Each structure stands twice: as structure tokens, then as C-alpha cells.
Amino acid sequence: MVEPVARVRSVAFRRHGRSAAERAIPEEVAVAFTYDGGAHAVMMATPRDLDDLAVGFTLTEGIVAEAAEIRDLQVIEEDAGIELRMWLSERRAATLRDRRRHIAGPTGCGLCGIESLAEAMRPVAAVAGGLVFTPDEIMAATEALAPLQALNRETHAVHAAAFWRRGDGIVLLREDVGRHNALDKLVGAMARAGISGVDGLLLLTSRVSVEMVQKAAIAGLPTLVAISAPTALAVRTAEAAGITLAAIARRDGFEVFAHPHRIAAEAVADVA
């Protein structure tokens, strides 16, 4: 399997002049998702935790409702990239075949297999339940992210998605050059480990776009905390899904954009 990090030579220009340098940078490869012999999507991804990516993508794209509906999974390395070859349960395979017959044309990697604007903006799953967290817990979870981002510490160029749980800290963390991929890897890892997201925090190092909220909703993750800012559509989608959306999170504070009822009412200094 291709290593996730490559070391390359470069020429560094600094104020004191020019010099030869070497740098660790993330690798990315073409990854194809196939179901029951049919091609579905191809995207660029970091070649690590690809089993998790296969399961997570299949779940968050609504191709299956639970990991057990993937009957078999093979990671096949080829000259041009890597194929994630999956076989689905008979019912899910029939549903996907029908979906393929109605796809009008090529699609982008963010909304794979979507044929229309209406389908892209379909209502999100409603997320209920979830624990109430204190501001101190959210700030502690945010601060715990960076030390565990091994690939990013080496390359400074990948995203992370993590799951934090009270009493356990960060339970799982996945990294990828693509923020969607990092989240799909995390969702897949949680599904394969039988970990429910209802009692913890989803942590993201990237900005929060609508697709990230949609994926969190499908995965049943009620509280999302991001280092970067959300888009306006992501905020509206979180409101509709019942997801608590906290963003611009730092070790000393954060802002809540949707459903603050899962954040304990403690005194917090203004961050405006």
C-alpha cells in the first residue's frame, strides 16, 4: 500500500537567502468506490484507513443504513489507484441499481450519485438526544486534538475528524487530505467498532460546509465542534437537523451557531 506521507526535496527561500530543503508532504491517491461490480465514485484520498473510508462513505451517502449491509469489502491496489470493492445486501444492491438508472450524468465528489438540485438539498435526518456538555469540556476536547494529529504534525496539510467522549477523551481520530474523507473515515471507524455517537462530540479541524452537517446527521452525531467557521447553509442545515453546531473553537472559547441547549449555561466571556 502507498505510504500516506512522502518526503520530497525543495528549494527554500528565506530572508537570509536560498537553500536546499526536504519536506514531508501528504500523499493522495485516486480511490474508486465500486458496489456489486458497478462503479459509483472516484475521489482523491490519503491512503490510510481505507476500510474505514469505504464503510463511512457508504453510510453517509445513504447507500446502506448500517455497516452490516456491506456483505464484503476488499481494498484492491492497482496501478492507477485503489479500488474499494464492496458487495451489498440483496435489498441495498437492488436500491442502488435503481438509483443508478436514474442518475442523469457525472457528479462531483462532494455529492456523489446525486442527479438534481432537489436531491442534493433533500431534508436532513433529524438528530435527537445527546448529552449536555460544559464549555470547559468543549474547550478541553478542542485542545486535545492537535497532539493526536500525527499526519498533520508531520505534514501540516491534512484535516482531522475525531470523536470525544466524557471520561474517555478522544476515542477515535482519522486524518485525510480531504475533510469529507476524514469525517467518513471517522464514521466508518465508529460503525465498525460499534461506537454510538449520541453521547459524545464530533470534532472537526476544517470549516463546516453543508455536506459535513448532512453526514453528521446521517451518522447520528448530535453535537459538532469545529476549529473553523461554518457556512450559512451549514448553520441552517444544523438548525433543521437538530444538531448543536459550535465553531471557531479554540482552547479559550468558541461560538454556538445552532441548538445551544446541549451546552451548559455557564458564564462564558464574550467572544464577539
Give 64-133 as a DSSP string. Answer: -SSGGGEEEEEEEE-SS-EEEEEEE-HHHHHHHHHHHHT--S---GGGTT--SHHHHTPPPPP------B
pLDDT at 46: 98
Residue 116 phi, psi (nearest 5): -150, 165
Kindly provide the b/e burial profile for residues 30-47, where b requires at least 16 CB atoms within 10 angstroms of the residue's own CB.
ebbbbbbeeebbbbebbb
Catalytic residues: 109
- CATH 3.40.140.10 residue ranges of the chain are 135-262
DSSP string, 137-193: HHHHHHHHHHHH-HHHHHHS--EEEEEEETTTEEEEEEEESSHHHHHHHHHHHHHHH
Given a cut of 60, whether residue 115 has pLDDT beyond it is no
Q: What is the DSSP letter of 52?
A: H
pLDDT at 270: 45
CATH fold of the domain at 135-262: Cytidine Deaminase; domain 2 (3.40.140)
221-233 per-position pLDDT tens digit: 999 999 999 999 9
Strands lying side by side in the sheet with 70-77: 38-45, 29-35, 82-88, 70-77
Average pLDDT (112-122) is 59
32-72 per-position pLDDT tens digit: 999 999 999 999 999 999 999 999 999 999 999 999 999 99
**Could you tell me which of 213, 205, 198 has the C-alpha nearest to residue 258?**
213
* DSSP H or E stretch at residue 21: strand 17-26
| Look-up of cell digits 457525472 | 106
pLDDT at 100: 73
Flag the least confident range among 74-78, 96-100, 163-167, 254-258: 96-100
The answer to whether the Cα torsion of 89, 91, 94, 96 is positive or negative is negative
pLDDT at 234: 97
- CATH 3.10.20.10 residue ranges of the chain are 29-120
Gap between the Cα atoms of 134 and 131, Å rounded: 10
Given a cut of 80, whether residue 153 has pLDDT beyond it is yes
- Grid coordinates representing 265 are 449555561
pLDDT at 101: 63
CATH class held by domain 29-120: alpha beta
pLDDT at 207: 94
Residue 185 CA: distances (Å) to CA of 14, 47, 58, 106: 38, 11, 10, 24
228-261 per-position pLDDT tens digit: 999 999 999 999 999 999 999 998 999 999 999 9
Gap between the Cα atoms of 204 and 219, Å rounded: 14
Gap between the Cα atoms of 242 and 112, Å rounded: 24
Flag the least confident range among 133-142, 156-165, 182-191, 262-271: 262-271
Q: What is the mean pLDDT of the chain?
A: 91
252 SS3 class: coil
Longest dimension (CA), the chain: 65
Q: Hey, what amino acid is at 61?
A: E
**Could you tell me which of 232, 205, 202 has the C-alpha nearest to residue 220?**
202
pLDDT at 114: 54
Given a cut of 60, whether residue 13 has pLDDT beyond it is yes
Flag the least confident range among 34-48, 107-121, 144-158, 221-235: 107-121
Given a cut of 70, whether residue 112 has pLDDT beyond it is no
pLDDT at 104: 42
pLDDT at 102: 52
Q: Which residue has the higher pLDDT, 180 or 103?
A: 180
Q: Which residue has the higher pLDDT, 104 or 256?
A: 256
pLDDT at 108: 39
